[in-house]
Amino acid sequence: QSVLTQPPSVSGAPGQRVTISCSGSSSNIGAGYDVHWYQQFPGTAPKFLICDNNNGPSGVPDRFSGSKSGTSASLAITGLQAEDEANYYCQSYDSSLNGWVFGGGTKLTVL
Amino acid sequence: QVHLVESGGGVVQPGRSLRLSCVASGFTFNIYAMFWVRQAPGKGLEWVAVISDDESQKSYADSVRGRFVISRDNSKNTMFLQMNSLRGEDTAVYFCARVMDEEGALDIWGQGTMVTVSS
């Protein structure tokens, strides 16, 4: 069981908006630590997408946005495209574990 | 171009050791902290270890503490992961990644190297 909980899968049609949740606790997201999001295609390395404060590397489409509230964070993808079909992971720091933690990952399917 | 390239993976018997390397290029290696992250087949990402830019601080996941040792040689732009007393559950692709900020965002990743622990 991952410390950060993500839904195993989400789906949406092209052009739609989808959100992927990342649920934590008072020792990680709720403690104010940043939440980072990564995109991973099968057989490749993860790619840094965005933080919950919407800071991220240049080149990432502004269709991707991050947010955080309480002990949870979300990644929103608007104008869904077929190329967005991938696995998405959240990451944060956990003060109880004194280390970094990842969510279990969410597979996004574009219908 | 900013690059991280891992090497050293392979098939190893339980209880044996293996050393992974991660060579950096295209950026000033000695001002960045670095991570090792692993991914078991068909599973999610797991943080393994982190090392500060000057090697003064190191931290490990509970699952590897006492068995794995992270180190770096800034003169060679290289980070290492010495893995001892390997177990079947250590079987995974091991990625090295550059830490972008104090919150642990990982902005550059290597392609990964596969470690299989099997008799």
Lowest mean pLDDT among A14-23, A51-60, A91-100: A51-60
Residues A60-109: pLDDT tens digits? 888 999 999 999 999 999 999 999 999 999 999 999 999 999 999 999 99
pLDDT at B114: 98
Residue A29's SS3 state is helix
With CA atoms as reference, the chain A residue closest to B41 would be A43
Contacts with A26 (C-beta within 8 Å, 6 or more apart), sequence order: A71
Give chain A positions within 8 Å (CB) of B59: 98-99
Residue B40 is given by DSSP the state -
d(CA B55, CA B71): 7
Selection from B83, B62, B63 nearest residue B71 by Cα: B83
Residues A31-40: pLDDT tens digits? 999 999 999 9
Selection from A69, A56, A59, A64 nearest residue A24 by Cα: A69
Contacts with B97 (C-beta within 8 Å, 6 or more apart), sequence order: B4, B34, B35, B36, B37, B106, B107, B108, B109, B110
Residues B54-97: pLDDT tens digits? 999 999 999 999 999 999 999 999 999 999 999 999 999 999 99
pLDDT at A62: 87
A 50-69 → B contacts, CB under 8 A: 51, 57
Phi-psi region of B112 (alpha: psi -120 to 50; beta: other; left: phi over 0): left
Please tell me chain B's helix, strand, coil percentages from 3-state DSSP, rounded to the nearest 5.
10, 50, 40
Q: How confident is the model at residue A56 (pLDDT cuts 50, 70, 90)?
A: confident
pLDDT at A84: 97
Q: List, as one string, the DSSP characters of B72-113.
A: EEGGGTEEEEEE-S--GGG-EEEEEEEE-STT--EEEE---E
B62 touches A: beta carbon within 8 Å:
yes
Stretch A48-69: mean pLDDT? 83
User: Which of B27, B35, B60, B103 is the mutation pick for testing A, counting most A CBs within 10 A?
Assistant: B103
Q: Given an 8 Å threshold on Cβ–Cβ distance, is B106 in contact with A91? A: yes
Count CB-CB contacts under 10 A for residue A27.
18
d(CA B48, CA B56): 17
d(CA B18, CA B5): 17
Residue with tokens 């622990």: B117
pLDDT at B37: 98
d(CA B73, CA B22): 10
